[in-house]
Structure 1
Amino acid sequence: MGFFRRLASGTSLVYLTQSALAIQLPPGYDTVWTTQSNNSAGSMPVGGGDVGLNVWAEAGDILFYIAKSGAFDENNSLLKLGRVRLSMDPNPFEMNANSFEQHLNINDGYITFTGDNNTLIKLWVDTVTSGIHTEITSDNHLNLTAYFEAWRLTERPMGSGEEVQTSWGVNSVSEIPLPTQYPDKIDYRHNGVLSYHHNHDTPLTTFQISEQGLGDADPSSFFNPMKNNTFGAFMWSRQLHPGAITSGAYNGTNFTAYNLVSDRLSKSFKLYIGTEQSASTNIDQWAESFIKDALKMEMASQHNTIEWWNAFWDRSYIIINPDAGPDDSGFQVGKNYQYFRYMMACNAKGEYPTRFNGGLFTFDPSYVNPIWYPYTPDFRKWSGGTFTAQNQRLLYWPLLKTGDYDIMQQAFNFYQNILPTSRALGKLYFGLDVALTSEQIDNTGLPNVYEYNANVFSNSQTRDPVLYPAGIDFNDWLSWYQDTANEFVDMILQAKMYNGLDITPWKPFVEYQLAWFDEYYQQRNGLESNGTLIIYPGSGAETYKLAFNSASTVSGLRKTLSDLLSLNQNWSKGNATYYAQYLSRVPATPLHSCPGYSTLTCVAPALNYSFTENNEPTALYTVFPWGEYGLGQPTNLSYAINAYFNDTQSATYHGTYGWRQDQIWFARLGLTEEATANIISRLTDSTTYRFSAFKGPNYDWSPDINHYGSGAIGLQEMLMQTFALNNTQIRLLPAWPSEWTGYFKLQAPFSTVVTANITGPSVSNLVVVPASRLSDVVYGTE
């Protein structure tokens, strides 16, 4: 019998038991290793608040990297705070030790190591303070040395290619200077080790303002999270004192270690590492306040953190084949779906969104590719502070059905924070009070340096002021790609629809982002004779360029405006009458005869376009994210199915990894076999890295978080769909394989929670709260 059914039998008793005791994930979801790792690529994630650690044992030592949300340096790299190494003497973890175990306790959110002489190390991160706690006990008396290893201690120019971790650009070009890596400060303070980085200047923003013709603008008017940003760690223990300063190298990167050593042998130790990130101009005051707070860490109880994790898991779950064993593909899919949620939850209280390209859990880049990326542990491809909405959206869409609305707000706040910049750009370049929001956008709201003028830098081309006016990225991949922010607009609206979230803080972003498409294109092109917008030049994602009425844009506007009107909110820039009129101006989604199949009708990527650059079948955006085509909708489903299978222009635009969305489309089209094969490929255990939910780099980086976000959406849509009939229909098991059993709890629109057991093509013990929504439930593809 499954874990869920072991709790109790019978519908009422099952759910009474659940309400009394938070659900526990199956014990098999814990990750347990009985051998040490070779290097940081064999690390295991743990975290909380806004801190993530990569934790591993190597050659008898315990090591972990510390990453913290918002640790942006002068170049907009997202830096590690440092690396910690723990060594004991006599060593219970020496390579010939009799016993070893590293154990991720997923339900309670912590890691343990066990070694000889009943030695136990517990490592956990406080979900309130983001402080790191290490507790050591042993039957043997031990000496402990805790090393804080830092590698940014001198000012140096970055090497060619290394600048990819910054927001200076994705390529080295002579017109853009190679950035300088500025040093951290590290020293012994208050009997501990204080390490921090303070941004004295913002050369990146200065360059952007000049490059993008903003010289007359007041730099202080731009939101700038790099300005005076200060972040660091303070490591201390009552049982340790400052020791020698040593040096070494890890994987080709030199480091200096500030060491804390034990006063005497002991059977137990407690080590604390506080973390902090905030803007400050008074560094001494910042440091003293930070250290004062860190010295209070010994009063914290892990009980509160465990309670937080238990409540988090009880919000939502999809458990598949819980008794099948670790080698079963369905079991692995369910487990790694939960690990995606886990990695997102480690930044649940972060001010900034989790990065699609590694999140808080990147490791030494040479273990991703030793030839291409021989850089420091700070390196990741596609920057640390550039918001690539096309990728980021895949991390946040699945949080609607998991009920993780607190985590979603990071992405909403990102856009609201940069709105003053986005509006200033709209006024400066086009004289419109709208949000000009680019796709590859820095956390300042300004387009990424390289992307803004990529065709100038790489091809020595001159801007055509008609096709590429100032303010629009001059870049074959990203030009006129303004509509991915619409997905975050609709997430905000749906968060209100799902659980009544107060969306007042983000209403300005919603309105000014939508205003771009109505006001700009009317200004540029006027209206068609039938009164609809002429959305040209536009873009179908990165693929269909200089597009006319891109399907992804017009279908998205129709869905977003419909959701806006359904909420019956009070708006400030527009009102219900305006938005109803705006909706009537949105063109129809284009259709055409399928290229290569003249007798078949396909959703078209656009009415027309000039060239293709990437390889996404954006006609399928009408299926997801926008749901215009799908099970239960009044549109002709065959048009979308034909667009996937019978459009020869996009026949090669398919895949099972990275940011691709095929499994989501299959699920929404009711194609069970295809969805299942794809989701198994995507969510089964990694064969590249030791931790089962570390895959990549795919198109981006390792671990590839948007790979898992896309997979999470696909699995949810295989199980429960809620987009049809104005978000009222609850469709269960529309693309669910008959060999998968288990249980689930998911959120649905209108403050609805759906819980049930699954036995292949049927459910049992179905509970829908409120009960009035039970009449909205349908099954399969009916």
Structure 2
Amino acid sequence: MQLFRRLTNIIFILIIVTLSANGQYSAIKQYNVQWNSQSKNSSESMPCGGGDVGVNVWVENGDLLLYLAKSGSFDENNAMLKLGRIRVKFPEPISQQQFSQTLNLVTGAVDIRTQLGNLSIWVDVFNPNIYIDLKNNKALKTEIIYESWRFEDRLHTNVLENRGNSFKWLKVPVKTYQDSMVQQNDFFIFSHNNHTNGLNVFDYTVNKQGLDSIKHLLYNPIKNNRSGGVINIKDYLFTHISTGKYMDSDYKAWHYLQKKASKNHSIQISLAIAQNDDYSSWQQEAIGTLQKGIQQQKQAQKNSLKWWQDFWNRSYVHTYDTNSYISRNYTLFRYMLACNAYGQWPTKFNGGLFTFDPVFVKKEYPFTPDFRLWGGGTMTAQNQRLVYFPMFKNGDFDFLKSQFNFYTNSRKNAELRSKFYWNVNGASFSEQLENFGLPNVAEFNSKRPEGYDKGVDYNAWLEYQWETVLEFCKMMLDMHYYNREDIGQYIPFIESCLRFFDEYYRQKTRLSGIKELDENGHYVLYPSSAAETFKMAYNSVTLIAGLDVVVNDLLNLPQQFYDTTRYKNWQKIKQQIPPIPFRQFKGKTLIAPALVWSRVNNTETPQLYPVYPWGQFGVGKPGIDTAINTYLTDTFALKFRSHVGWKQDNIFAARLGLTKEAFHYTSLKFKDGPHRFPAFWGPGFDWTPDHNWGGSAMIGLQEMLLQVVGDKFYLLPAWPKDADVSFKLHAPNQTTVEVEYKNGVFKTINILPAVDKSRIVLPD
């Protein structure tokens, strides 16, 4: 690398000149996905959505089908329910001839052309309303059919099915309760209300974790959670109820036939989720949302169209020629993330809003469309972070709040368990975390030995793995450093997490010996864990790096975020954090996973977490040779290297400026997934669509194109010299960086606000 000093073959424009709107939309349109034949089944569906609603859209055997999903549809078992299947039938089935189905990224809609006319499926970004607009060549009568596989109570007789909820492999009598389907005047209403009697995951978890005495104090998002929706049937007449089977699920179907044939027509559906034990008020609110959507449909479409246009103007990455699939799938994945931009709950790493019949992912799971491996309400921190970290460079700051809310809403429960188990202050969060802030009950393991610490997961992978919450603390802090947002609301949460580590480990050490710190005045972080891999560790590198970076970022905040007492406390914690552990291997210094560890339990490479996400080593930083040695020679790093799922090798390589390795693994990650829609990756280690696969691919590409170190902008720090690319990405301090690089030459470098040329570093 060298500081930019020469203007040869480089055009600098120091005042931002963005691509014109039309030019940017044309570039985005090239990534539209178009199919010219119908789909065989739901695995060949296409994602569509907006706000917090996701719809799988496909045409099969002449019928239009939609799976409905909305953020937060957690049932009493913490499965994340689909809200039903819509089937639209026509007087004559849609023909394979003259057929096309297109995901139109600029409008956020799925557009279908048929011999009968045109259909457009789109979602209001600002209200949970779904529209199916039909423009027929001649007047037709359409039939709307609502299909439900939850038409009766269903006991889970196959224990594997519980892996789709929070009971996982526990042998308990799990039941999925039936939904309610009723017609009221001009509306067909479907809903699932969580049962307060009988088995439910919240009560079961609290009991097994010994917290019944404080149960009344605990936050419970499961109780009375009601999820469902409303279909406008004003122009339709009920005809009959039928039964059938789709893939592995029996269903009942409610049929409504259009009263009068029409050429132009719109079908409107509204989805609703709320913690409300009063069915009538929930129903009233759902109907009201739908009625508003009907009355304001044109304005809703206009507002949503503008939102998508603004969204695509925030950022982009365009690669060319044989590498164009990289930017196409990058863009498609970003679209999928945008479909839950404003969800009350974060986008799930294991499928998001777009799961489909599970048998098409793995044959050993012949269950209903509600199934996804690793549960619906369980959040796995190491996976979730990869979904949300890339949103910073994309400029999608508004998307991050649902993930932050997940943690801040759970803070009280996390603090109560710390006080209850160990009599320490602060919030303790496990790795496999329920949406109410307690460890997943199956991973916690009810078969624990007598006297085993009730606050620790009795689990070979998860014991003492609490440090992953620090990555979300970093994200909260980055909201200020990137977007200058007021993060005052998050400071108490971050402090609570730090307080736990401070008090817990000082107490743990004090109970084992006379002193609570080591001879250098540092924490004795034992037992700790370096990810899920290096277990029973002494001074885990992931915990040390996380504590160090989070406290440093706190100390660098403007004074508006702290008082003298707070600042002095942060300084004290900083002084007590141990140094990063190192080890010698074949005459070279490597970053170590910990000072010592007792066993290796998984295939992560936490010794490189100081490279990413913590950024203590990398391009433009001291000690990069040590980090490169770790990447290239550490036997565990080499053994575990892969592009699959949540693997981060592409990100590590990019952060270290290892162009060949970064491009190799990032390219593999961005290859088309195994299903018809190319960004439906997985299952990897998790489920399909694998969102942490997409997130880690996205991060790696971003880091290849732009890294900001101190006040320096490193452009293309790990990008091949012979590969063309253009991009617009976000950097700290509300800065955007726009670059066009072709034929080995920087055609354009636009940074806004403008920076001095000496701060821009180009590749050698």
The whole-number CA distance in structure 1 between the counterparts of 2:687 and 2:564 is: 40
Partner of 2:342: 349
1:593 aligns with 2:592: no
Aligned-residue offset at 1:508: 1.8
Are the equivalent residues in 2 in contact too, given 1:733–1:762 (CA < 8 A)? no
Distance in 2, matches of 1:238 and 1:768, equals 54
Cα distance between partner residues in 2 of 1:666 and 1:253? 45
Shift of residue 464, structure 1, vs aligned partner: 6.2
Q: CA RMSD in A?
A: 1.9
The counterpart of 2:279, out of the listed 283, 291, 303, is: 283
Query: What is the 5 A alignment of 1:60-459?
Result: 60-91=62-93, 93-95=94-96, 98-117=97-116, 119-158=117-156, 159-169=158-168, 171-173=169-171, 177-201=172-196, 203-217=200-214, 219-298=215-294, 299-301=296-298, 302-321=301-320, 324=321, 328=322, 330-370=323-363, 372-453=364-445, 457=447
Change (3 A) 1:638 1:11: closer
Q: CA deviation at 1:94?
A: 2.9
1:34 and 1:220 map into 2 onto residues whose CA distance is 56
User: For each residue in 1:397-454, what CA deviation from the matched residue of structure 2 results, as whole angstroms up to 9, or x when unmatched?
Assistant: 111111111101111111100000011111111112211111101001111011112x
Amino acid at match of 1:415: Y
Equivalent position SS for 2:244: strand
1:669 match: 656
Please give the secondary structure, in 1, of the residue aligned with 2:238. Answer: strand
Task: Show the 5 A alignment for 1:687-706.
Answer: 688-706=674-692
1:445-491 Cα offsets, whole Å, 9 max, x none, are 111011112xx53xxx62664xxx22111111000000011000001
Residue 124 of structure 2 aligns with an amino acid whose one-letter code is D
Whole-angstrom CA distance in 1 between matches of 2:407 and 2:258? 48
Cα displacement string for residues 128-167 of structure 1 (whole angstroms, at most 9, x for unaligned residues): 1120001101112222001111111111211311011111
Cα distance between partner residues in 2 of 1:708 and 1:649: 24
1:731 equivalent in structure 2: 714
Q: 2:84 and 2:757 mapped to 1: Cα distance?
A: 52
- Matches of 2:564 and 2:47 in 1, distance apart? 44
Determine the C-alpha separation between the residues in 1 that align with 2:636 and 2:349: 29
User: Which AA in structure 1 matches 2:49?
Assistant: G
Alignment of 1:487-566 (within 5 A): 487-525=471-509, 526-566=516-556
Indicate if the aligned counterparts of 1:133 and 1:272 stay in contact, CA closer than 8 A: yes
Secondary structure class of the residue paired with 2:71: strand
Output the TM-score relative to the length of structure 1: 0.92
Q: Output the CA distance in 2 between the equivalents of 1:433 and 1:17.
A: 50
Q: Secondary structure at the match of 1:78?
A: coil
Distance in 1 (CA, whole Å) between partners of 2:307 and 2:382 is: 31
* 1:10 to 1:553, Cα distance in 2 relative to 1, 3 A: closer
TM-score (norm 2): 0.94
Report the secondary structure of 1:306's partner residue: helix
Aligned to 1:657: 644
- Structure 2 CA distance, aligned partners of 1:558 and 1:263? 67
CA shift digits 1:536-561 (9 cap, x unpaired): 00000000111011111111211111
Aligned to 2:574: 583
Q: Deviations over 1:269-314 (max 9, x none)?
A: 2100011111112111211221132122222221111100010111
Partner of 2:6: none
Q: Equivalent residue for 1:3?
A: none
**Contact conserved, 2:15 with 2:750, CA < 8 A, in 1?**
no
Q: Distance in 1 between matches of 2:147 and 2:202?
A: 30
* 45-54 or 506-515, larger mean C-alpha shift: 506-515
Match of 1:480 in 2: 464
Aligned equivalent of 2:606 = 618
Matches of 1:732 and 1:279, distance apart in 2: 48
The CA distance in 1 between the partners of 2:684 and 2:462, in whole Å, is: 20
Once residues 740 and 282 of structure 2 are traced to their aligned partners in structure 1, the CA distance between those partners, rounded to angstroms, is 52
Matched, 1:679 2:646: no
The corresponding residue for 1:763 is: 746
Structure of greater relative contact order (alpha carbons < 8 Å, 6+ residues apart): 2
- Which residue of structure 2 aligns with residue 629 of structure 1? 617
Residue identity in the other structure for 1:62: L
Structure 1 distance, partners of 2:75, 2:531, is 30
Using the TM superposition, give the Cα deviation of residue 742 of structure 1 relative to its aligned residue in structure 2, in angstroms: 2.9
Closer, same or farther: CA 548–762 of 1 in aligned 2, 3 Å: farther
Q: Secondary structure at the match of 1:260?
A: strand
Aligned residues of 2:611 and 2:652 also touching (Cα < 8 A): yes
Kept in 1, the 8 Å contact 2:14–2:752? The answer is no
Equivalent residue for 2:512?
A: none
Q: Which runs of 5+ in 1 are unaligned?
A: 1-8
Q: Distance in 1 between matches of 2:753 and 2:173?
A: 58
- Partners of 1:184 and 1:331 lie apart in 2 by 45
Q: Following TM superposition, by how much is the alpha carbon of 1:242 offset from its aligned partner in structure 2, in angstroms?
A: 2.0
Map 1:710-721 to 2 at 5 A: 710-721=696-707
1:715 offset after TM fit, Å?
0.2
Distance in structure 1 (CA, Å) of the matches to 2:226 and 2:603: 40
Cα deviation, residue 241, structure 1: 2.4
Q: Give the whole-Å Cα distance in 1 for the aligned partners of 2:28 and 2:535.
A: 47
2: CA distance between counterparts of 1:20 and 1:701? 36
Question: Size of the alignment, in residue pairs?
Answer: 741
Task: Extract unaligned runs of 5+ from structure 2.
Answer: 1-9, 510-515
> 2:241–2:252: 8 Å Cα contact kept in structure 1?
yes
Cα distance between partner residues in 2 of 1:20 and 1:215: 58
Within-5 A mapping of 1:10-29: 16=17, 18=19, 23-24=24-25, 25-29=27-31
**1:19 deviation in Å?**
6.5
Q: Any idea what SS the aligned residue of 1:257 has?
A: strand
The equivalent of 1:4 in structure 2 is none
